[in-house]
Amino acid sequence: MYLIPARAGMEACTADACVGLRDLDLMRPVSRPEVFDRIGPGLLSAERADLLIMDELGTMERQAKAFCGAVLRALDGDLPVLGVIKPRSSALLDAVRAHPRVQVLTVTRENREELLKTLEDWAAEKTALEI
């Protein structure tokens, strides 16, 4: 698993950007928090962006203190954030869900086709409020 800019191609998936490896014996990912901390804060504070995409926050980054702080600072900022958050509990995930600027939309088979319209309406409303 890699932490790379959204505009980067597969060539960015190098060992230096690898934040997790699948342990086949344990059948779960093994996290590399030092990579989250080295790369993540810079990616989350990109100056030339219209939207920050976080895909996906889970539990692998829970030991990466600098990255977790950068996630919460990004939510405090003016740049819109679209993210995916796993339905688990950790200090970071719980703080993200509780953040006053976060609206959690749960995707289900029943509502997934309608969510695009919901997001478009929400974005239009936010844009109108900013004018």
Q: Which residues contact 10 (CB under 8 A, 6 or more apart)?
A: none
Q: Is residue 85 part of a domain?
A: yes
What domain count does the chain have? 1
How much is the pLDDT for 79? Answer: 87
Answer yes or no: is 88 within a domain.
yes
Q: How many CB atoms lie within 10 A of CB 7?
A: 8
List Cα–Cα distances, 14 to 29, 31, 61, 70, 121, in angstroms: 17, 15, 18, 22, 38
CA distances from 33 to 19, 86, 103 (A): 7, 18, 27
- Neighbouring CB atoms inside 10 A of 89's CB total 10
Is 3 within a domain? no
Domain encompassing residue 40: 10-105
Question: Is 125 a member of any domain?
Answer: no
Tell whether 68 is covered by a domain. yes
pTM for this predicted structure: 0.84
Residues 79-95 have pLDDT tens digits of: 888 899 999 999 999 99
123 inside domain: no
23-53 confidence digits (pLDDT tens):
777 777 889 999 999 999 999 987 777 888 8
In a domain, 18, yes or no: yes
Is residue 86 in some structural domain? yes
pLDDT bracket for residue 131 (50, 70, 90)? very low
Percent of the chain with pLDDT over 90: 47
